[in-house]
């Protein structure tokens, strides 16, 4: 299971509460590993049991707020996991199934949904490009920043590919709608 490792990574980067973790996750690792807050709290509890992380009540914060940090055993586990082989992730895209369904049972009017998606992907791509300009303009980057940039570039390439492909799909879908 890798959610635990994704959480470990995020806490190593910056110790925090479960709530903060859930919000930060959305904005960083969440781009390529999504989790809900319920899952996060569950895994935090498990990892604390396993001795990978520990938490202390935050004095002066809201009641019950706990700050988590990664213990030595957690770091060791993170290193162990990172050096393991892993399978490339699988795509899981409903739109492809819908396209095949359209091919099999006749036109299903998918163009509208593709247009909606095109706008979404273009917006996402723009967001990424803005981050690129804001955070990675300086050509002289330390190792850590280089890696973060590399990850962003994967996201940019992926979204750019999606945008381009979606346009192509729309061209096809519109073409036949007019005949």
Partner DNA sequence: CCACCCATGTAACTAGTTACATGATTTC
Partner DNA sequence: GAAATCATGTAACTAGTTACATGGGTGG
Q: Residue 119 phi/psi, 5° resolution?
A: -60, -45
Site map 97..116 versus a copy of itself, x via CB under 8 A: xxxxxxxxx--xxx--x--x
Tell me how far, at minimum, the Cβ of 59 lies from a copy of itself, in Å.
27
CB of 144 to DNA, least distance (A): 25
Rounded CA gap, 98 and 173, in Å?
13
Q: Which lies closer to DNA via its Cβ, residue 19 or residue 136?
A: 19
CA distance 179 to 158: 32
Q: Select from 27-35, 41-49, 57-65, 131-139 the region that touches a copy of itself (CB under 8 A).
A: 27-35
Q: What share of the chain is helix, strand, coil (3-state, %, to 5)?
A: 70, 5, 25
Residues 114-133 that bind a copy of itself (CB under 8 A): 116-117, 120-121
Q: Nearest CA to 34 among 70, 3, 68, 78?
A: 3
94 or 144, CB closer to DNA?
94
Give the one residue of 32, 123, 174, 177 binding a copy of itself; rule: CB under 8 A: 32
């Amino acid at each position: 299971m890798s959610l635990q490792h994704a959480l470990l990574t995020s806490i190593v980067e910056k110790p925090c509460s479960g709530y903060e973790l859930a919000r930060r996750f959305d904005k960083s690792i969440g781009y390529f590993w999504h989790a809900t807050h319920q899952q996060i709290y569950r895994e935090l509890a498990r990892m604390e049991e396993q001795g990978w992380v520990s938490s202390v009540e935050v004095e002066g914060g809201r009641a019950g707020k706990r700050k988590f940090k990664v213990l030595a055993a957690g770091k060791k586990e993170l290193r162990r996991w990172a050096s393991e082989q892993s399978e490339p992730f699988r795509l899981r895209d409903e739109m492809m199934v819908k396209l095949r369904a359209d091919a099999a049972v006749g036109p299903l009017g998918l163009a509208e949904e593709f247009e909606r998606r095109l706008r979404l992907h273009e917006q996402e791509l723009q967001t990424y490009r803005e981050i690129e300009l804001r955070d990675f303009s300086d050509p002289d980057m330390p190792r850590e920043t280089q890696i973060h940039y590399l990850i962003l570039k994967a996201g940019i390439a992926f979204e750019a590919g999606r945008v381009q492909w979606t346009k192509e799909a729309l061209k096809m879908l519109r073409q036949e709608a007019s005949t």
